[in-house]
Amino acid sequence: MRWVRRPLLPAVRLWRRNLQLRVVAGTLLMSLGVVLLLGLVVIGQVRNGLLDAKGKAAQTQAAGGFAAAQEKANAPLTPGGQGGDTADGATANNSWRTELVDQLASGGKNAFNVVALSADEGTRAPRGSGSVEAVSIPQSLRDAVNKGSGAFQTYSEIQYANGQQPQPGLVVGKRLYDNDHNPYQLYYLFPLTQEEKSLTLIKGTLATAGLFVVVLLGAIAWFVVRQVVTPVRMAAGIAERLSAGRLQERMKVTGEDDIARLGEAFNKMAQNLQLKIQQLEELSRMQRRFVSDVSHELRTPLTTVRMAADVIHEARSDFDPVTARSAELLGDQLDRFESLLSDLLEISRFDAGAAALEAEPIDLRQVVRRVIGGAEPLAERKGTRIRVVGDEQPVIAEADARRVERVLRNLVVNAVEHGEGRDVVVRMGVAGGAVAVAVRDYGVGLKPGEATRVFNRFWRADPARARTTGGTGLGLSIAVEDARLHGGWLQAWGEPGGGSQFRLTLPRTADEPLRGSPIPLEPEDSRRNRENRERAAAAPKAGSEHRLTAVPTQPGGSDRSALPVPSRTPVAPRTAPASVHPAALPGSGARVVARHAEERSGGELDTAVQDPERGDTNRGD
């Protein structure tokens, strides 16, 4: 069926996109239906009128002929016409009928024919004019005439013995008596040739007029719709150019009708929109410049303060305990302030479009090792173990190593901070033209609605949570900008109490568009448990031994039993290197997954949100 639908696709696309075509086609179809209906009604009325007129004329003509035939039969016989033997009588009677038929038919040559039949079939041969055969008279009409005394009529097909084509006709018959007082049947056959020609002419005239009317209505509809559709198309084109950034575009307004008022309103809207956008752009430029200027201006006093703080910090052993602790806090907060200042400068570069990408072929395994090495001290303090999965083969991509390392460092540190002391799994994958690194934790996860704000600047999942690593709240905002600079995606998934997963997907070659990711956004263990929960909800509960957990239980000490985590056995990626996992393709909005009633807290839902335009999602710092 595909080879049948493929040639029709352009026509279907044109039909869907062209309003004028649909209106004109609909007008033509409705006009054609109306014309056909009116034509059928008119032709039926004309046909009935012609047949009624023909029937009345035929009745009048036949009545006169029947009267003349009866008068001839009642006339006195000529001398010598009576007596003689039977054979002579039969011959005389046949001659009389022949003369009668010829006499009656002579008054309507080519208008009608006359046929005389015996009442008892087979005694005498039929007599007819114009080579008309007796089979032209239906048997039903013969029976009706033979039993009744009045005139009867019916429509039949007149057949000729001389090879002439049969014609439709009207047959009128009556039973009479001849000069010997024997009954016989006299029929008048009226051809309907002239009526048929008149009806054909009327049909042709109506068809021509109907076709002309349909075409005229189509042209009128096209002209009328064009008066309305043209300004709408113009408005659509200008709206597209406005959306493309050409804010100076305006509609051409002529007249004072509804379309003109629409054009004026559209132009006012475009003008106000242009003014508002210009104001917002100016405000945004001022804000970016303010952040950039403040960040640069703060560097000089910050350097001076840093030097003074270092001197105080080195001499803290000579101070009392309270002053020494204050010197340490001063040094820590200065470190955080310098980090915040650096992040603000980086954000200002992205906002100004000045960020540059220095891409070169790198092995992401080495970047991941450096990131994990740097996060090990924090992981040890948290009691968290960082595992790496999928590093058996090289994961090569053209990328900026500094920016990729900054993204992964932010993801890993966030996972350790929010992992509640449970394992953090870093998974790598490569397939087709894409590479991916996913960071999975089994901590508090994300609540519904948080995934839409996770990449917002200065946003925290828990405002009351302390930043043990001195984060600035700009890490994920910078990370998502780094991913976009590579032409990649930074996406998030999470569920309350079930942890979260952040996935960085990059093209293997710079400037190559992404079509999918080697790693599914939703972790395999979460998907498997969700399917098990759905099956358990459909099946009857047999007991507590059939209850399912959110994720596989992690073996280990009692300090890690608050939330279940996956087994320590490394799990190989499910995707083949040559293909892309179907679940890894970019989604189109938020997806909410309901958790089991015994496993969720406060009726919360599992949430995964993905940006359909850019393929990246937002999760908090």
Looking at residue 436, what is its pLDDT?
92
- Average pLDDT on 595-615 reads 36
Overall pTM surpassing 0.75 (yes/no) = no
- pLDDT for the residue numbered 540: 58
> Residue 403: its pLDDT value, please?
87
Give the model's pLDDT for residue 36: 92
Q: Where in the chain is the domain with CATH 3.30.450.20?
A: 18-249
Res 258: pLDDT: 81
The stretch 502-520 carries a mean pLDDT of 88
Range list for CATH 1.10.287.130 in the chain: 258-352
What is the per-residue pLDDT across 17-70, written as a single tens digit (0 to 9) for each?
888 888 888 888 999 999 999 999 999 999 899 999 988 998 888 888 888 888
Residue 191 in tokens? 């051809």
pLDDT for the residue numbered 426: 93
pLDDT value at 212 more than 80:
yes
CATH of domain 18-249: 3.30.450.20
Most confident of 69-83, 112-126, 170-184, 548-562: 170-184
Question: How many CB atoms are closer than 10 A to CB 15?
Answer: 12
Name which of 414, 286, 410 is nearest 348 in CA terms: 286
How far CA 220 is from CA of 31, 208, 231, in Å, comes to 12, 18, 18
Mean pLDDT for 223-229 is 86
> pLDDT tier at 462 (50, 70, 90 boundaries)?
low
pLDDT at 575 over 60: no
Check whether domain 258-352 has CATH 2.60.40.1120, yes or no: no
Mean pLDDT on 393-404: 88
Amino acid at 150: G
Considering the domain 360-610 in this protein, what is its CATH number? 3.30.565.10
Looking at per-residue confidence, does 43 or 583 come out higher?
Answer: 43
Local structure of 320: helix, strand or coil: coil
Is residue 299 over pLDDT 80? Answer: no
State residue 463's pLDDT score: 58
Q: Per-residue pLDDT tens for 352-385?
A: 666 777 888 999 999 999 999 988 988 998 899 9
What is the Cα–Cα distance from 36 to 23, expressed in whole angstroms?
Answer: 20
Mean pLDDT of 305-331: 85
Q: What burial class does residue 190 get, using C-beta atoms within 10 Å of its C-beta: 0-12 exposed, 13-18 middle, 19+ buried? A: buried
Decide: 62 and 107 in contact? Cβ < 8 Å: no
212 vs 292, higher pLDDT: 212
> Which part of the chain is CATH 3.30.565.10?
360-610
